[in-house]
Amino acid sequence: MATPRTPDSTRRSERSRRAIFDAALELVGEVGYDKLTIEGIAARAGVGKQTIYRWWPSKAAVLLDAFTADAGDYEAGLPDTGDLAADLRFVLRASVDEFNDPKFQAPYRALAAAGANDAELSADFVARLMEPGIKVYTDRLRAARDQGQVAEDADLRVAAEMLLGPFSQRWLMRTGPLTYEFTDTLVDLVVRAVARR
């Protein structure tokens, strides 16, 4: 007679975690951050709210983990074809598509708004999403400097922020449409500003 298998609690936990992430991302898009609740996430995920509280202290923490679980992988860095402007245009155009996607917009806007009133959440958001993003841009600019395309004395961190700051402000504050034309203009201005004379 076969012995019954012991259920794999790791697999069950991972299924629950994924269900919670999916529920949080769906619900924030449907009801917004203010109406998002742990109870609602638990009901949608088919888990008890105590399961959520065992892993996360707040809805913001759930949402940040859910959002970063599917965030892009920064390990590969930015493309390097030898043409800095073309590479930056390519990446920022892809970012335009991503930031204009409603599935991406809802959780990102919610986290940005929540972070404005929660210093700990903001610090976590910056450390897990913004800093890795800035680093890949500074790394690409450093490679361009090594190739003689960028001035030796250019502040690479500031140059990266010159690209990403206006992008983020336009999107977050809705000061204008986030378009390829806008990001191409940003790239042209920044590349011209840091170019080796």
pLDDT tens figures, 101-124: 988 898 989 988 888 888 888 999
Domain identity same for 55 and 123: no
Examine residue 21 and state whether it is found in any structural domain, yes or no: yes
pLDDT at 90: 97
pLDDT above 90 for 17: yes
pLDDT at 6: 47
Domain identity same for 32 and 120: no
Domain identity same for 173 and 106: yes
Q: How many domains does the chain have?
A: 2
pLDDT at 19: 95
Q: For 44-84, write each residue's pLDDT tens digit.
A: 999 999 999 999 999 999 999 998 886 656 667 899 999 99
pLDDT at 75: 66
Can you give the residue range of the structural domain that contains 34? 10-69
pLDDT at 2: 47
Domain identity same for 92 and 135: yes
Domain identity same for 188 and 132: yes
Domain identity same for 88 and 140: yes
Domain identity same for 92 and 65: no
Domain identity same for 25 and 95: no
Q: pTM for the full model?
A: 0.82
Domain identity same for 51 and 117: no
pLDDT above 80 for 88: yes
Q: What is the CATH number of the domain that holds 179?
A: 1.10.357.10
pLDDT-derived band of residue 178, with 50, 70 and 90 as boundaries? very high
The DSSP line for the chain is -PPPPPP-HHHHHHHHHHHHHHHHHHHHHHH-TTT--HHHHHHHHTS-HHHHHHH-SSHHHHHHHHHHHTSPP-TT-S--SS-HHHHHHHHHHHHHHHHTSHHHHHHHHHHHHHHHT-HHHHHHHIIIIIHHHHHHHHHHHHHHHHTTSB-TT--HHHHHHHHHHHHHHHHHHT-S---HHHHHHHHHHHHHHHB--
Examine residue 169 and state whether it is found in any structural domain, yes or no: yes
Domain identity same for 99 and 56: no
pLDDT above 50 for 7: no
